[in-house]
Amino acid sequence: MPPKTLDDLLAIEAIKDLKARYCRFVDTKQWDRLATLFAPETRLYGFGSVGDGGTPDAFVAGLAKRLGKVISIHHVTSPEIALTGPDTARGIWPMMDYLEFPEGQAPHEAPGSRGFVGWGHYEEEYRRTPEGWKFTFMRLTRLRIDALPVDHPRPRPGRFAHTPDWI
C-alpha cells in the first residue's frame, strides 16, 4: 500500500537506512553489526556465500569467509518500498556490486577472473521490531555479471580508511 501518513514515510525512511547499513557493513567487513540487521527467521536466496534458504547466521559467516579479503563495493538506488501492514513491508532495490578477489582466488560467478561487476535487484521483506526494522527475507537476482580480467589493474589504497563508529 502506498504511504498515506507521516508515520508511513518515516517507516520507509527507516527501511532505507537499514539497507544503507547493510551495504556499509558488508563493504567494511563489520560482520557483528551486519548480523544485527536480520530477524532470526530471515531466509536468504541467490547469494554465493550461503545456499538458498540460508539463515542469517550462516549468511554472515559465509560472507565473512568468502569476502573477508575481497574489495567489495555495493550500491543500491531508487528503491520501491510498499508497506504491507502496520509493521511489515516489501522492497525492491536496483543494485550494482563490484567484487575484486585476492590473487589466486577466482569467484565462482566469473571463473578465471579477478572478480566481477554485477547488476541486478534485491527483493526483500522487512518487519518492525522493538529494536527497529529488520530484514525477514532477502533474494539477490542478477541481470548481468561482467568479469574483471586477470590483468585488471591492482587496487591502490584509498586515502582514508573507514570510520566504523562515525554514526
What ranges do the domains of the chain cover? 6-148
What's residue 1's pLDDT?
A: 66
Strand partners, 127: 88, 134
Q: CA nearest 46: which of 106, 115, 135, 123? A: 123
C-alpha atoms less than 13 angstroms from C-alpha of 163 in its C-beta half-sphere:
5
Cα angle value 56/138/48 (rounded, 5°): 70
Instruction: Identify whether the C-beta of residue 152 lies closer than 8 Å to the C-beta of residue 115.
Output: yes
Q: What global pTM score does this model have?
A: 0.93
Question: pLDDT (tens digit, 9 = 90+) per residue, 65-81?
Answer: 999 999 999 999 999 99
Partners of residue 80 on adjacent β-strands: 92
Whole-angstrom distance, CA of residue 45 vs CA of residue 142: 12
Under-50 pLDDT residues of the chain = none
Q: 6-148, what's its fold?
A: Nuclear Transport Factor 2; Chain: A, (3.10.450)
Q: Give the pLDDT confidence of 132-142 residue by residue, as tens digits.
A: 999 999 999 99
pLDDT for the residue numbered 2: 72
C-alpha to C-alpha distances, 43 to 30, 33, 119, 136, 147, nearest whole angstrom = 20, 18, 21, 7, 28
Write down the pLDDT at residue 160.
75
